[in-house]
Amino acid sequence: MEDPQCESEARALQAVSDKLRQARLKYEKLKALGASLDMTRGKPGADQLDLSQGLFECLRPEDYKTANGVDCRNYGGLDGIPEIREIFADLLEVPPSQVIAAGNSSLSLMYGAFSELCAKGVSGEKPWLLQNGAKFICPAPGYDRHFAICEHFGIKMETVGLSDSGPDMDAVEALAKDPSVKGMWCVPMFSNPTGCVYSAETVKRLASLNPAAKDFRLFWDDAYFIHQFGPKKIHQGNILKECEACSNPDLALVFASFSKVTFPGASVAAVAASKANLSWVRNRMSKEMVGPDKLNQLRHARFFKNADGVLEHMQKMSKLLKPKFDTVLSSLERNLSGACTWSKPEGGYFISLNTPDGCAKRAIELSKEAGVAVTGAGATFPYGVDPRDRNIRLAPSFPAIGDLKLAVEIFCAACNLAALEKEAGI
Amino acid sequence: MEDPQCESEARALQAVSDKLRQARLKYEKLKALGASLDMTRGKPGADQLDLSQGLFECLRPEDYKTANGVDCRNYGGLDGIPEIREIFADLLEVPPSQVIAAGNSSLSLMYGAFSELCAKGVSGEKPWLLQNGAKFICPAPGYDRHFAICEHFGIKMETVGLSDSGPDMDAVEALAKDPSVKGMWCVPMFSNPTGCVYSAETVKRLASLNPAAKDFRLFWDDAYFIHQFGPKKIHQGNILKECEACSNPDLALVFASFSKVTFPGASVAAVAASKANLSWVRNRMSKEMVGPDKLNQLRHARFFKNADGVLEHMQKMSKLLKPKFDTVLSSLERNLSGACTWSKPEGGYFISLNTPDGCAKRAIELSKEAGVAVTGAGATFPYGVDPRDRNIRLAPSFPAIGDLKLAVEIFCAACNLAALEKEAGI
């Protein structure tokens, strides 16, 4: 006579085994298509770049002077030209005097500031490298290039969690009491990769932070500041104004760029900060260069005319990007078993997906073997180690929609298979 | 009865006093013209910039791909595009694989490398900031921005003399025996400000330097590498090849740019080095940016076509610059009393002038009061202190020739007056 418990276990195992077989079949079938698709990086698609073709011809040969008469072809003008500073200032809602416009990369501005804090210091404090064991707060999942900068200089990363409203503020406030904690990475709007938008409450709490270290700085990477899909700007509060209101004017350095607005390879970046912080930035820059590429700044100013021009441009951009996100999201909905969860961002460049614990590495590996590359496992965590091995970053922007459909289907098959392998104890 | 010695002294004093009065009269007469002229910085004149107007239109909207198919509008390509690396490589006489092409400033490349040595280190050595009392060799008169970088990071400057054939190599070799001496600034071709060209012998001695510090680096600022006035390139020897021949492949980092070739505000810079050094540079850059402005690189590649195109362009450039230098030199010849000496460079951007000891500061002050600004006193020496207070840097490029004539006449009157004041003990 049969044992009913054994029988039910056997049936359950059989069910898993059946599902696993089906999942493997589906995966192998898709793998056989021999795809070669890439969802690794937040790289704009060619259609997005085409929106900025006007940049090639908007600057005429006789048009090389700013309104205040500066010849943009020649040396000088460390702060950038007034025309482009004004556009950034309007978009960031600060006065132009609080903005320096620079070269083609906000990452360079961040690296420059970080490197300077390590090697030179700020607020009369010693360089971080000469203080013992400087640390940095890293909300995670986060941006791998931020973490790489910390690691490069040997600054210890302290991971804090990230919810839909931003970083775990209790953890941040507790860490900031330690004088060796020197700052924090923030991607406040459409965070990379979760797409979360720091709430107005979170922004306020960050602005009123009372860190033990005088040389503590928020690295406010506003990479997606105007990258919402909808027509309405999401209210978040202005970090520089909030910091000022909290008598904390020097707490934040704000970074932004037009990298994902025009041409990532030939764009304009900016830093906004308090007067004291800008003097500090300017002091470094004055040693580092005679001035930024003013012609490219003028080219961008001519192309956009003003901040409204940028916002109109971004609406065209979202008309191209939103369908790609919709494609990915509906395909995830359709193809993924219930074991995974994912973000549904209202802007930015990424979708963040969580597999069951312990499955991300395998899912990424399977996906890659079937011809679909997504961002490497662990990349969204400090030191490249995802403690629960579950987070995967998807970047929908670069592939064409048709490719995207197939890519996500393959990726989902890989995720499902990885989850079932785990369930079956393989 | 009169004492003949007293009489001769009185006559001599009278003569000085007469000359002083005449010099003062001449100076006041020129001052009364109310000029406002600037010979402070090595800034190209508008006529020089006009030579590159083709850059505005040489890149058509459909022309954004490199020969190997890279879309220059998008992210990526840390090393720069092959087309522009090849042009730099040909001009620097190294293989393209030894060149990284970057943004608009070689100063930024130098600052970046220097800052990295301070904060991160090279060759497995600790960062300079964590080694006690790192020092740097500074040939002087030299470039103020080099010295400013050392000072910024608190790296002690060791001044060595500079003759027509380059730095005092005995002094350099002696200093390099100290393990805390970490490197040296070099402007090997048409040195700023003396215009001297390091001899082939000097280049060889530098390449065969045997520094005690493993992390010693020559910062080879080849700012004027193709800036000769005559049609023939001056033979100097190739530092990277010489270093390799001396089994010292990692000794030198070579920096160059098109800043004074096209538009200083919107140009392309490059670094050339050994494979190991380039990997080190690339490691930093990979944390600092996703890639340089590739469109501007492509624009330059289209404009010049190849290295010969650059050299032809530079011949047109020298046709504009040489007459300015001739104007200054002949005016110095005509207007200066015998007390001053000056360089007669065959290229580059500056004329270096020595007043009698203790007169430079006063001459510069008088010149400024009469409406002609030249580079600040002491600027050509570490810490801004010229120990003999005699060196003045003149930059003839920016003013128009007519202005230049007047500017130099005024400057000479200031120099003569300062020298006579000194002689008269005022």
Nearest residue to B411 via CA among B346, B363, B378: B363
B279 to chain A, minimum CA–CA distance in Å? 14
Q: Could you tell me the two tokens for B418?
A: 């300062």
Nearest residue to B404 via CA among B341, B358, B351, B355: B351
Q: Choose which CATH entry (3.40.50.720, 3.40.50.1240, 3.90.1150.10, 3.40.640.10) describes domain B4-49+310-423.
A: 3.90.1150.10
Q: Could you tell me the two tokens for A243?
A: 């910091």
Residue from the list B53, B284, B293 with its beta carbon closest to the beta carbon of A265: B293
Is A3's pLDDT higher than 80?
no
Which residues of chain B make contact with A52, given a CB cutoff of 8 A? 73
3-state SS class at B110: helix
DSSP string, A126-175: PPGGGSTT-EEEEEES--HHHHHHHHHTTPEEEEEEEETTEE-HHHHHHH
**CA–CA dist A320, A191 (Å, integer):** 20
Which residues of chain A make contact with B292, given a CB cutoff of 8 A? 104, 265
B152 to chain A, minimum CA–CA distance in Å? 8
ipTM: 0.95
pLDDT of residue A93: 96
pLDDT band (50, 70, 90) for residue A395: very high
Q: What angle do CA A301, A302, A304 make, to 5 degrees?
A: 65
Nearest residue to B268 via CA among B231, B295, B236, B234: B295
Q: Could you tell me the two tokens for A16?
A: 């898993």
**Beta-strand relationship, A372-374 and B341-342:** unpaired
Alpha helices in A198-344 (DSSP H): 200-207, 239-245, 275-288, 294-304, 307-335
Question: B157: part of which helix (H) or strand (E)?
Answer: strand B156-163
Residue-wise pLDDT tens digits, A63-115: 999 999 999 999 999 999 999 999 999 999 999 999 999 999 999 999 999 99
Nearest residue to A56 via CA among A296, A318, A231, A252: A296
What are the respective helix, strand and coil percentages of chain A, to the nearest 5? 45, 15, 40
Question: B394: part of which helix (H) or strand (E)?
Answer: strand B391-394
Residue from the list B46, B56, B111 with its beta carbon closest to the beta carbon of A288: B111
Instruction: Determine the average pLDDT of the residues in A140-148.
Output: 97
A74: Cβ contacts below 8 Å, ≥ 6 apart = B43, B44, B46, B49, B263, B264, B265
Taking CA–CA distances from B130, the nearest residue in chain A reads: A130
Using alpha carbons, list the distances in angstroms from residue A129 to A215, A318, A420, B268. Answer: 13, 42, 47, 32
- Quick check: A374 and A367 in contact, CB under 8 A? yes
pLDDT of residue A231: 84
pLDDT band (50, 70, 90) for residue A2: low
pLDDT of residue A6: 82
Fold entry, domain A4-49+313-423: Aspartate Aminotransferase, domain 1 (3.90.1150)
Residue A68: CB atoms within 10 Å: 8
Please name every residue paired with B38 in a beta bridge, in sequence order, or none if there are none.
Answer: B373
Cβ <8 Å between B265 and A77: yes
Taking CA–CA distances from B117, the nearest residue in chain A reads: A119
- Quick check: A253 and A215 in contact, CB under 8 A? no
B315: Cβ contacts below 8 Å, ≥ 6 apart = B231
**CA–CA dist B113, B135 (Å, integer):** 16
- Which residue out of B108, B130, B397 would a mutagenesis test of the A interface target, given it has the greatest number of A Cβ atoms within 10 Å? B108
Please name every residue paired with A37 in a beta bridge, in sequence order, or none if there are none.
Answer: A372
Please name every residue paired with A137 in a beta bridge, in sequence order, or none if there are none.
Answer: A158, A184
Residue from the list A107, A289, A294 with its beta carbon closest to the beta carbon of B288: A107
Q: Could you tell me the two tokens for B66?
A: 């490199």
Provide the terminal-to-terminal Cα distance of chain B, rounded to the nearest Å: 31
Which residues of chain B make contact with A292, given a CB cutoff of 8 A? 104, 265
Q: What does pLDDT average to over chain A? A: 96
Residue-wise pLDDT tens digits, A28-59: 999 999 999 999 988 999 999 999 999 999 99
Residue from the list B73, B116, B119 with its beta carbon closest to the beta carbon of A266: B73
- Which residue out of B66, B115, B281 would a mutagenesis test of the A interface target, given it has the greatest number of A Cβ atoms within 10 Å? B115
Which residues of chain B make contact with A49, given a CB cutoff of 8 A? 71, 73-74
A73 to chain B, minimum CA–CA distance in Å? 5
Which residues of chain A make contact with B119, given a CB cutoff of 8 A? 115, 118-119, 127, 129, 153
**A316-342 as b/e, with b when 16 or more CB fall inside 10 Å?**
ebbebbbebbebbbebbeebbeebbeb
**CA–CA dist A52, B69 (Å, integer):** 19
The C-alpha torsion from B47 through B49 and B51 to B53, rounded to 10°, is -130
Please give the CATH number for the structural domain made up of A61-306: 3.40.640.10
pLDDT of residue A306: 98
A370 to chain B, minimum CA–CA distance in Å? 25
Residue whose tokens read 């943009």: A72
Which residues of chain A make contact with B46, given a CB cutoff of 8 A? 71, 74
Q: Could you tell me the two tokens for A193?
A: 């990769």
Is A289's pLDDT higher than 70?
yes
- Give domain limits for chain B: 4-49+310-423, 64-305
A391: Cβ contacts below 8 Å, ≥ 6 apart = A141, A193, A352, A353, A354, A360, A380, A381
- Quick check: A268 and A257 in contact, CB under 8 A? yes
Query: CA gyration radius for chain A?
Result: 24
pLDDT of residue B2: 56
- Quick check: A192 and A350 in contact, CB under 8 A? yes
Please name every residue paired with B394 in a beta bridge, in sequence order, or none if there are none.
Answer: B351
- Which residue out of A74, A260, A303 would a mutagenesis test of the B interface target, given it has the greatest number of B Cβ atoms within 10 Å? A74
Half-sphere exposure of B346 (CA within 13 A, CB side): 14
**Residue-level pLDDT, tens digit, chain B, 426 residues:** 457 778 888 888 888 889 999 999 999 999 999 999 999 988 999 999 999 999 999 999 999 999 999 999 999 999 999 999 999 999 999 999 999 999 999 999 999 999 999 999 999 999 999 998 999 999 999 999 999 999 999 999 999 999 999 999 999 999 999 999 999 999 999 999 999 999 999 999 999 999 999 999 999 999 999 999 998 888 899 999 999 999 999 999 999 999 999 999 899 999 999 999 999 999 999 999 999 999 999 999 999 999 999 999 999 999 999 999 999 999 999 999 888 999 999 999 999 999 999 999 999 999 999 999 999 999 999 999 999 999 999 999 999 999 999 999 999 999 999 999 999 888
Residue B88: CB atoms within 10 Å: 28
**CA–CA dist B279, B273 (Å, integer):** 9
| pLDDT over 70 percentage in chain A | 99
Cis peptide before A249 (omega within 30 of 0): no
- Which residue out of B55, B70, B145, B290 would a mutagenesis test of the A interface target, given it has the greatest number of A Cβ atoms within 10 Å? B290
**CA–CA dist A12, A283 (Å, integer):** 68
Cα A270 to the center of its chain, rounded Å: 16
Residue-wise pLDDT tens digits, A335-351: 998 889 999 999 999 99
A273: Cβ contacts below 8 Å, ≥ 6 apart = A98, A240, A250, A252, A253, A254, A281
Q: Could you tell me the two tokens for A218?
A: 């928020």
Question: B252: part of which helix (H) or strand (E)?
Answer: strand B252-257
- Which residue out of A51, A55, A56, A267 would a mutagenesis test of the B interface target, given it has the greatest number of B Cβ atoms within 10 Å? A56
Nearest residue to A114 via CA among B147, B119, B150, B102: B119
Residue B210: CB atoms within 10 Å: 11
Phi, psi of A425 (to 5 degrees): 75, 20
Which residues of chain B make contact with A41, given a CB cutoff of 8 A? 75
CATH match of B64-305 with 3.40.640.10: yes
Residue-wise pLDDT tens digits, A217-246: 999 999 999 999 998 888 899 999 999 999
B20 to chain A, minimum CA–CA distance in Å? 39
Phi, psi of A17 (to 5 degrees): -60, -40
Cβ <8 Å between B119 and A153: yes
Alpha helices in B134-293 (DSSP H): 144-152, 169-175, 200-207, 239-245, 275-288
Sign for the CA dihedral angle at A231, A235, A236, A241 comes to: positive
Sign for the CA dihedral angle at A88, A166, B291, B103 comes to: positive
**CA–CA dist B76, B292 (Å, integer):** 8
